[in-house]
Structure 1
Amino acid sequence: MAVGKGLSYKARRRWTLVILLIGLPLYIVAAVSIVNLLDRPSILVELLVYVGLGFLWALPFRYVFRGVGQADPDAEGDDSNGPGA
């Protein structure tokens, strides 16, 4: 890994799995707990809170998620991760 490059592609894929499998369920529990503190607001307010929280959870992880669904840019001519693999 080059100096100043940041996380490698494989590290970003691993962190993405950790965030989605552990972090997201925890965030969902927190979001539901926050909405429960509001004494059952109107359906529109509740929807806006869920949409806002759903958008906010991904903001800190933009860099980790960026390009994870693409082929490994560090692979040199290796087609083993391609669509036919």
Structure 2
Amino acid sequence: MALSYKARKRWSLVVLLVGMPAYVVLAVTLMGHIQRLPLWLEVPAYLVLGFAWILPFKRVFLGVGQPDPDQPADHDE
């Protein structure tokens, strides 16, 4: 089932305001539980973790910054 534009917009806010901070805490906790990595390995690990959160939510954010496609276009001519 495809989400409507309004639903995608709402879910994107939930993901950004609740999910992302929770993921950051989880990622930092995970990195804190493993032994300190060398800097050349730690930086890429944080980069991978920084981009990994978006992969499951890519479809939710698709087109959210665009005008609502369900609204009729106003043509003031």
Per the normalisation by structure 2, the TM-score is: 0.89
Aligned twin of 2:59: 63
Is the aligned partner of 1:46 residue 2:42?
yes
2:30 to 20, 31, 34: 34
Q: Give the number of the structure with larger relative contact order, counting CA–CA contacts within 8 Å between residues 6 or more apart.
A: 2
Unaligned runs of 5+ in 1: 80-85
Per the normalisation by structure 1, the TM-score is: 0.81
- Give how far 1:50 is off: 0.9
Unaligned runs of 5+ in 2: none
Which protein has the bigger helix share? 2
- Give how far 1:78 is off: 4.9
Taking structure 1 as reference, are residues 25 and 78 closer, same or farther at Cα in structure 2, changes over 3 Å only? Answer: farther
RMSD: 1.5
Instruction: Give the ranges of 4+ consecutive aligned residues of structure 1 lying more than 4 Å apart after TM superposition.
Output: none
**Percent of matched pairs sharing the same residue:** 51
Aligned length: 75
Residues 43-52 or 22-31, more deviating: 43-52
